[in-house]
Structure 1
């Protein structure tokens, strides 16, 4: 039987969505000792800009207390009685004004440890097929910039790097023009791409390097 290739242009199809969530829910999560008690959720906004399937990111405001000025997904702490999906949608609307009615929620993956293992972050995937500038109202107290990157650029090996931490743990990094996506945001980006696309489309160059280093 011929192997089916899941490409970028059919990323919004039902088959691609089902493939993505099946793989995403099986995501192998890194662990660092005792699990943190604090919890948060992030939205991975998969959108179509013009005719290009893309991913939306934010740049955090420089006045924030933590990870200021860095690239992130919309999101924030889970409050009492909220689900990760409810939190992701609420925080997205609060940060960039994108209405929940515009977002088609696919589902969410397992919680992942954030920076320094201080919080568990649940990634929620949602699509906005026709994103327009008028759909966004940026909250400048929390967000300095909103931008999108075409998925085809994230799949190009020349834009893929990695970083190795002092404990030996390796994470992907994407560098596209003036934007450097790293940390938990890069890991979630990689996890989404490898869940929805086949390896002939998204080749996971940084993962090959990870395996080479671990064998050396």
Structure 2
């Protein structure tokens, strides 16, 4: 049987895939530049089943927001004094933004904090799965979120949907373009890291990594 179908589609919710994912996710390479920010936040990486297809859930931030308005993001936000852990932050913010209740989310674990846009906040990605997500599970806060959408994992694995961008500070990050949605920045990096953690290289390969390795070698010379 095709390894892509057997592992990518049928086994992604298995205990073995979950253990592989968290073990690898905790070993993420952390891009660093400048001073480490003092502000902290968390995002949820929501793995869900939609129409029987393993998918990731994303939000489109409301255009009226002061920061990152109109951009694609995972649900999440800044740590609050009420939060006792990054996981609590991710679950609370997810509920406040899209109405997805914490008891609907099976938390797998978290990765290391990553620098967010402009290095102003450290963001901890928290992975959680939602079985058979339906529209009834959501209650979108339109003051913060303009739209919620899901992308099948297999579409994120398609080379035709994968691109990359190089920032002025030298960092090269992946970009995913799915129909009218552009997933970039820290959200794309977390997406790539999740896919790399849970899938084998024969299932998920991203050409931006090859470009990054080549440019890194040139920089060393």
- Tell me the residue number matched to 1:190: 192
CA shift, 1:96, in A, is: 0.3
In structure 1, what is the equivalent of residue 25 of structure 2? 24
Provide the rounded CA distance (Å) in 2 between the counterparts of 1:99 and 1:166.
39
Tell me how far 1:32 sits from its aligned partner. 0.9
CA deviation after TM superposition for structure 1 residue 204, in Å = 1.9
Partner of 1:169: 171
SS at match of 1:123: strand
Deviation of the 1:6 alpha carbon: 4.0
Higher relative helix content: 2
Shift of 1:122: 0.2
Instruction: Indicate which of 202, 206, 209 corresponds to 2:208.
Output: 206
Q: How far is the alpha carbon of 1:82 from its aligned partner?
A: 2.2
Matching residue of 1:123: 125
Give 4+ residue runs of structure 1 displaced > 4 Å after superposition.
none
Question: Residue by residue, what CA displacement relative to the aligned partner does 1:32-77 show, whole Å, maximum 9, x if unpaired?
Answer: 1210000000000000001110000000001111000000000011
Q: What CA distance in whole angstroms lies between the structure 1 residues aligned with 2:25 and 2:14?
A: 16
Q: Distance in 1 between matches of 2:214 and 2:167?
A: 16
Please tell me the root mean square deviation across aligned C-alpha atoms, in Å.
1.3
Cα separation, 2, equivalents of 1:63 and 1:156: 33
- Asked whether the 8 Å contact 1:109–1:123 carries over to 2, the reply is yes
The equivalent residue for 1:78 is 79
Distance in structure 2 (CA, Å) of the matches to 1:116 and 1:59: 19
1: CA distance, partners of 2:40 / 2:170: 25
Gaps of 5+ in 1: none
Checking the alignment, whether the CA contact within 8 Å between 1:6 and 1:196 is kept in structure 2 is no
TM-score (norm 2): 0.93
> Which residue is equivalent to 1:95?
97
TM-score with structure 1 setting the length? 0.96
